[in-house]
Amino acid sequence: MKKILFGLLVMVFAGISAQKAQIELLGGQSFQLDFVDYELYGLRLKNHSSAEIEASIVSKISGKQVRGFGLAPKATVEEVIIESDSYALFTNLSDQTVSFSAEAKPKQA
């Protein structure tokens, strides 16, 4: 019984905790990021590189860009809200490798 209760607590804690990733993109490369377990989530982003990274929020239904912005080089943290019918797409338009961090946290509608 204790093991089952502990397992449930771990699952609940994992469901409400943030998920973090460090991502590297080669020159000209794109990366799609989606957290399908979340209905609505906040995505905190920080560019650690000296080149700008293009960020787009794309509709899963139409495949068209809903919103877009750039992650400035060595920028402060940016946050964007993403709905369950969208995903984030990051594109490195430079020739150099770039890296950025992303942290997703579920939000209430």
| Number of domains making up the chain | 1
Nearest Cα neighbor of 37 from 87, 106, 101 is 106
In a domain, residue 70? The reply is yes
DSSP 17: S
In a domain, residue 46? The reply is yes
In a domain, residue 10? The reply is no
The per-residue pLDDT for range 34-54, each reduced to its tens digit, is 987 888 999 999 999 999 999
Please say if the pLDDT value at position 27 is more than 90: yes
In a domain, residue 43? The reply is yes
The per-residue pLDDT for range 57-81, each reduced to its tens digit, is 999 999 999 999 999 999 778 999 9
Domain residues for 65?
Answer: 19-106
Distance in angstroms (rounded) separating the CA atoms of residues 29 and 77? 22
Please say if the pLDDT value at position 105 is more than 60: yes
In a domain, residue 88? The reply is yes
